[in-house]
Amino acid sequence: MRKSRSTLTAVAALALTAFIAPRANAQPLGEGPLVLRLPASAHSLAIANAGIVSTDGDAMFYNPGMIASIRGSAISLQRYGSHGVAGSMATTSTAGSMTVGIGAQFVRYAVPVGATYADVMKTGATRLSDGGGVAASSTAITFGFAKTIKNFRLGVSAKYAEDQLGARHDGVLAFDIGTNHSLGPGTLGVVVQNLGAGPRIDGIKGTLPRKIGVGWGTSRAVSDNFDFGGQAALTLEGDLFVRPAGGVELSYVPIEGVSIIGRTGLRLPRERDESLVTAGLGMIIDRIAVDYAMEPMRGGRPISHRLGVRIR
C-alpha cells in the first residue's frame, strides 16, 4: 500500500513539474494545436464543457481516468457558421484487466490571407465562423488506457496533434494523466492535460493548452419519472488562468428505457467569442443517445451547434 502511494506521489510530482516548467521561446498567448482548445462532446458542451467526470464514450478527451468507467462509442459534429466545422469520434473496449480507448478530433476552417500562426493561435483571436482565403485545419489522434487500482480508476493517454495553416504545418505529441474515485453521492475526478512541447509554424513556437482540472458529478432519481444530474469543474490553465464551469441536466423518463433530457451550463469564457451560457437537449432510447448542444457565440457571430450520437 505504501509503495502504491509512493508511486502515485511520484507520478503526480512529475506531472506537476512538467505542467509548470518554463516554456522557453514560447509566445505567451500562442496555445495550440487549436483542436485541443475546442469542445469534444455534445453532451459536455451543453453543460459548459465540464466533462472531467463524464461517462460518455468520448470522456477520454476530458479525463483518461474515466476510460475505466465507460463502455461504448460516441461521435459528434459541430458547425461554426458556414466556414468552420469540428468533430470527434471515440470508442472504448476491454483488454484483460484494462480498458482501452481510441479517439480522433478535427476542425476545418479558413483564415484571412497574410494571417500568421501567432495571429490564429493568440487567445481571443480565433474566429472559426469568420472565414478567409487560406484553408486551415487542426487534428488529433488519441490512444488511452485505464485500470482500477484499489478503488482508484487511473488512466493515461497519448495524442498526436497537428495544426496546418495553408501549406505550413507541424505536429506534436502530448500526454494526459487522470484519475477518478467515488466521493459522497457522486464521482471526483482529477486530470492533468496536454503535457509536452508545442508546435512551431512561421517561426512561432507555441505552447500546448496545458491545464490541471478537478471535477465532481452526480446523477440521482428525484421521482419515478424524473432524474437530476450535474457536473462542476475547476481548471487551472497554463498561464494560471482559473476557469470554473458547471451545468445541470433534468431527465424525464416516460417509460423504462426512454429519457428526454434538458441541459444548461455556465462557464467563465476564455476566448473572446465564447459564450457564458450553453444549453442542449438529449434523448436516450435503450442503448442509443442523441445529444444536441448550442453555443450562442458573442461578437455578432452565429450560434454554434453541435450534434452527437452515443452507443452504450
Q: What is the 3-state secondary structure (H, E, C) of the chain?
A: CHHHHHHHHHHHHHHHHHHHCCCCCEEEEEECCHHHHCCCCHHHHHCCCCCCCCCCCCHHHCCHHHHHHCCEEEEEEEEECCCEEEEEEEEEEEECCEEEEEEEEEEEEEECCCCCHHHHHECCCCCCCCCCCEEEEEEEEEEEEEEEECCEEEEEEEEEEEEEECCEEEEEEEEEEEEEEEECCEEEEEEEEEECCCCEECCEEEECCCEEEEEEEEEEECCCCEEEEEEEEEEEECCCCEEEEEEEEEEECCCCCEEEEEEEEEECCCCCCCCCEEEEEEEEECCEEEEEEEECCCCCCCCEEEEEEEEC
20 has a pLDDT exceeding 90: no
| Pairwise pLDDT comparison (127 vs 195), residue with the higher score | 195
- Tens of pLDDT, residues 54-104: 988 899 999 999 998 887 899 999 999 999 999 999 999 988 888 999 999
List the single range of 19-28, 82-91, 190-199, 247-256 with lowest mean pLDDT: 19-28
Give CA–CA dist 11/65, Å, rounded.
14
- Tens of pLDDT, residues 32-49: 899 999 999 999 999 999
Give the model's confidence band at 123: pLDDT under 50 very low, under 70 low, under 90 confident, else very high: low
Report the pLDDT averaged over residues 133-162.
95
What pLDDT does residue 203 have? 85
What pLDDT does residue 4 have? 42
What pLDDT does residue 11 have? 45
C-beta atoms surrounding 87 within 10 Å:
20
258 has a pLDDT exceeding 90: yes
What pLDDT does residue 124 have? 66
Domains of the chain and any CATH numbers = 2-311 (2.40.160.60)
- Tens of pLDDT, residues 239-248: 899 999 999 9
Report the pLDDT averaged over residues 232-239.
93
